[in-house]
Structure 1
Amino acid sequence: MEMGSGLLVEQKQALSVGQVQSLNILALNNQELEDFLMNEYLENPMLENSGDKENEMFTDMEKMYEKGTSFRDQYLENPEEEEQSRNDVRARTENSLKEYLLNQLDRGSLSQREWETAEYLIDCLDEKGYFLYQTEELAQNSGYEQKELEQCLAVLKELEPVGIFSSSLAECLEKQLRVKGVEDETLFVLLRNHMQELMNGQIGMISRKLQVSTVQVKEYIHLIGTLNPRPVMDIQKDDTEYVVPDILIARQNGQWEVTLNDGWMGEYRYNDYYIRMMEETKDPELQAYFRERLERARFVVNSVEQRRRTIVRIVEAVLELQKDYFEENGNLAPMQQEDIAQLLGIHVSTVSRAIKGKYIQYRKTIPLKALFTAGISDHEGDGSVSSDTIKQRLRQMIEEEGKKPLSDQKLAEQLEKEGISVSRRAVTKYRIQMNIPDSRQRGILK
């Protein structure tokens, strides 16, 4: 075998360290970006935050020093009173459950009286989220009329989580079942009248009283086991997390407005004081340090601004391709990251990083990535049917299926007849995502 040497020429696109870091900044959501910028700000004297109050306080303290006035005398009206209050226990922050419920109400459509009534009723909830009082009893002691209490209570019962303000465990579970689309009066009778036997595991007794088979009672028990008996279980945790939208969308005069929800971070810019120090210093080492820090500050500021422009451009392109969805004239259209990349003339990896972990707010807050959906092939093979459209059609077919529920295979075959090629496995996945029971469970519930 003859061996030799030669040159192989091939093209590769290598990203510089700066480009990689810039892409990493693009992938940060707003909270992560704020943490990143704060670390940079603390480590780099060349960075200044316009939203920071330290500079203002520092200036005030300099003026007080010149006047011979202490910080304590300047900011405390009564230093002795402040000294006595040091050991006071801080007031607890407002209950997170109350905030969660009130945030679901439309403050502008309620009078001050109605708002105060809602606050009063929320305070009446027990630790599980149940409302165990009689409105007639409350009317005698609260100063609110029974009618207005009942009207407000009816509104509060419709809030999330499902089952909040229920008067009993049975009512709570029944409400959750009805939201799931379950309409089985026998099951509801079980909840209302036989809860104690259910908790004791007396399946035979329940079977005889309801005149149903023990198999069906076990099916009921399995279904009930998927429900939440304590509506506030996931709300009153100490580590409750709230989704803060990264991008805000508004409709003004027929035009879309896209803004990044990052104003609360303040504006990061270069520190003029240290720039002057860099220019005036005669120490070469100090000057080299300042120049290196200034270069890093410029990179950070430029990368953040580039991130802002890139995300806005991508969201504007998404709005254009999903126009019908946002104007409530249709479902999500098939759209992939490659479509946005091609439209804007950027790499698909840039789109991927820009939408990673970001939330968008327009009427409601959803993951930006949820707006991207692959097209499902129809008989024309153009992938023009979105998964959102297929889910809507599946739900409609199941609602119209009659006494004999359709299996996932039958549903897939029906879609095929309508020109949509979807596998049985895909139908199962979509059905589970919509929280719809399988054909056997639907048959039992019917």
Structure 2
Amino acid sequence: MGLGPRLEIRQSQQLVMTPQLQLAIKLLTVTNVELEGWIGEELERNPLLASGGEAEPAEPVAQSSIDDSREPLPAPVEASSAGLEQLLREGVPSGDGTPLEADYTGERFHHDCVSDQPADWSERPGSGGDEEGFDFDRVASAGQTLAEILEQQAASRFDGMELAIARFIINGLDECGYLVEPVDEIADRLDISPAAVEAVLAEVQMFDPVGVAARTLSECLIAQARAADRCDPAMHKLLSNLDLVARGDMNGLMRLTRLDREDIVDMIRELKSYDPKPGLRYSGEPATPVVPDVFVTRGADGAWQISLNQATLPRLIVDRDYHAELASGADKATNSFLDECVSSANWLLKALDQRAKTIVKVATEIVKLQQGFFENGVSHLKPLTLKTVADLVEMHESTVSRVTSNKYLLCERGQFELKYFFTSGVASGDGEAASALAVKDRIARLIAAEGDDVLSDDKLVELLQGEGFDIARRTVAKYREALGLGSSVQRRRARAMRAA
């Protein structure tokens, strides 16, 4: 058979990712606050897009309700385009290759108890009532940084070469206030002796906050003891041997300082009043308020009501009157531009509507599956995966992953990221798996309630297995460390130090 060129016609179908489809997918991942800023840019770019004003009443799509009967979800609305609906169902591969089934067991606990919130949280300030809301500007107000405060003190204390040394030292501090640049390197850069740097460093360490620019924890605490006029030889020895204090070795400390137990206890009590990280008083980024995207409230009939937060989103309409005014007597290029603006505005409205419906559908299924959490707290949280929710809402896992990314849910128990409700499972005696977060919460409660006998990991395993959790000792140790709780030996030493 001879080889030669030839022409063939083949028919195939493929989904083309147009810019509009890419925009619809991107809208699923952004928060309401980010979406508000993006809509503001669109309002400036598109003259036919307007916010507010009179418009035809739209259907209330951004809310849903559930009850114990688990009624089926409403049928999906007509898609803005076949391509968008297909993307939601089949998904788009993640560009960075990140697996969708992530383990979110590292999430922190917050607001797990009914007592953390008022009895009627919907009437608290800032929840939509007539009372004045929380003043976020008070939190976000930026003060002076650590470097600025130290620069002011250095300028009033030094001049010439000493001021230059002090500025090099200040620039070499980390956020905790410790000097991370070696003294020898500072001396080499300035072509001076290390002794000159040490002399300036000793004075900088007495600036406010006292103990800043220390190189070790002992040096930081010694500077604070000197400022309080308490750095006698015994205190200096104690602060130079903090490993003995950490181990709770009272006998070793008494031999080292040649003092009795009562004096050692007084010194440790004073040591607790010192600040091991003085720089943190002026460090850190200002707190950014998190605005919830979804509200979960209990209706008058006892069913859970799920609604989208519309307060942060402007109401968009297409200004038909303005379009007619511009189109009258316009040339061909102007009409082409206006048609493009109308098409873009209509697509945006449909994409926003589809985003709202998708978020509410996913949030509704999460509330259904985790109804025990909303009723009784984190101890009733169940294992949940993206695939489970994706199958129920008849969408792809990637769509559910995008919908739950950077989205927050506000309910009676507090504010939670939607990812918080996706956790791995631990086998239990009743045949149903328990959430890893529920097991962590139980471990934390057991340790918090332990009496004189500190619970070891083996004892925790025994207690948890008695409650129906099929869990191994290494898993208990992993969860305990993730909660920031020490071992039984460490907790026993810490308790002895507190008692001292």
- Tell me the TM-score range normalised by the shorter chain: 0.5 to 0.7
Pick aligned residue for 1:444 from 493, 496, 500: 493
Determine the structure 2 residue equivalent to 1:355. Answer: 404
CA distance in 1, matches of 2:465, 2:485: 21
Pick aligned residue for 1:297 from 345, 353, 357:
345
Equivalent residue in structure 2 for 1:306, among 354, 373, 378: 354
Q: Take 1:213 and 1:429, find their aligned partners in 2: how far apart are those partners?
A: 39
Distance 2:276 2:14 in 1: 53
Deviation at 1:231, TM superposition (A): 10
Gaps of 5+ in 2: 55-116, 126-137, 144-227, 246-252, 496-500
Q: How far apart in 1 are the matches of 2:466 and 2:124?
A: 48
Partners of 2:306 and 2:478 in 1: how far apart?
Answer: 34
Residues 32 and 312 of structure 2 are in contact (CA less than 8 Å); yes or no, is this contact kept in structure 1?
Answer: no
Aligned to 2:435: 386
Is contact 2:327–2:334 with CA below 8 Å preserved after alignment?
no
Distance 1:263 1:304 in 2: 15
Query: Could you say which residue in structure 1 is the equivalent of 2:367?
Result: 319
User: Aligned residue for 2:261?
Assistant: 211
SS for the counterpart of 2:486 is: coil
Structure 1 position 371 matched with structure 2 position 421: yes
2:112 paired residue number: none
1:428 aligned partner: 477
Deviation at 1:262, TM superposition (A): 2.7
CA distance in 1 between partners of 2:270 and 2:321 (Å): 72
Structure 1 Cα separation of the partners of residues 26 and 285 of structure 2 = 31
Give yes or no for contact 1:375–1:383 (8 Å, CA) kept in 2.
Answer: no
CA distance in 2, matches of 1:16, 1:319: 32
Summarize the Cα distance change of 1:109–1:285 in structure 2 as closer, same or farther, 3 Å threshold. closer
Cα gap change, 1:391 to 1:41, in 2 (>3 Å):
same
Name the counterpart of 2:130. Answer: none
Give the Cα–Cα distance (whole angstroms) in 1 for the partners of residues 276 and 122 of structure 2.
31
Aligned position for 2:394? 345
Maintained 8 Å contact 1:333/1:386: yes
Unaligned runs of 5+ in 1: 53-103, 111-121, 128-193
In structure 2, which of residues 35, 43, 46 is the aligned counterpart of residue 44 of structure 1? 46
Q: CA deviation at 1:239?
A: 3.6
Residues 268-320 of structure 1 deviation map (CA, whole Å, 9 limit, x = unaligned): 11122332145424411111111111111111111111111111111111111
Q: Describe the superposition over 1:320-362 as per-residue Cα deviations: whole angstroms up to 9, x where unpaired.
A: 1111111226521112221111111111111111111011111
Q: What is the distance in 2 between the residues matched to 1:210 and 1:258?
A: 64
Per-residue deviation, residues 83-127 of structure 1 (Å, max 9, x unmatched): xxxxxxxxxxxxxxxxxxxxx9999899xxxxxxxxxxx9xxxx9
Shift of 1:50: 1.0
Aligned position for 1:249: 296
Structure-2-length-normalised TM-score: 0.50
| Paired AA for residue 433 in structure 2 | S
Report the secondary structure of 2:380's partner residue: coil
- Equivalent pairs: percent with the same residue? 25
CA distance in 1, matches of 2:472, 2:269: 28
Contact 1:403/1:443 (<8 A) preserved: no
- Which structure 2 residues correspond to residues 134-173 of structure 1 after superposition, within 5 A? none
**Structure 2 residue identity aligned to 1:203:** L
CA distance 1:226–1:376, change in 2 (3 Å): farther
Aligned amino acid, residue 341 of structure 1: A
> Could you tell me how far apart the structure 2 residues matched to 1:366 and 1:373 are?
13
* Local SS of the residue matching 1:263: coil
Shift of 1:426: 3.8
- Greater share of residues in helix: 1
CA contact (8 A) 1:48 1:271 kept: yes
Q: For the residues of structure 2 that align with 1:385 and 1:445, how far apart are their CA atoms?
A: 31
Aligned-partner Cα distance in 2 for 1:332–1:12: 44
The 1:339–1:108 alpha-carbon spacing in structure 2 relative to 1, beyond 3 Å, is closer
Question: Does the 8 Å contact 1:247/1:360 carry over to 2?
Answer: yes
User: Which stretch shifts more, 200-209 or 270-279?
Assistant: 200-209
| 1:226–1:43 distance in 2 versus 1, CA, 3 Å | same
CA spacing shift, 1:232–1:359, aligned 2, 3 Å: farther
Taking the TM superposition and a 5 Å limit, the aligned residue runs for 1:29-428 are 29-50=31-52, 196=230, 201-203=236-238, 207-208=253-254, 211=261, 239-253=286-300, 254-277=302-325, 279-328=327-376, 330-363=379-412, 364-378=414-428, 384-399=433-448, 405-408=454-457, 411=460, 415=464, 420-422=469-471, 424=473, 426-428=475-477
Q: 1:393 Cα deviation (Å)?
A: 3.1
Distance in 1 between the 2:229 and 2:364 partners? 54
Distance 2:386 2:260 in 1: 55
Number of aligned residue pairs: 305
Residues in 2 aligned to 1:50 and 1:386: alpha-carbon distance in whole angstroms: 44
Contact 1:281 1:287 in 2 (8 A): no
Shift in CA distance, 310/195, structure 1 to aligned 2, threshold 3 Å = farther
Report if the CA contact (8 A) 1:360-1:366 is conserved. yes
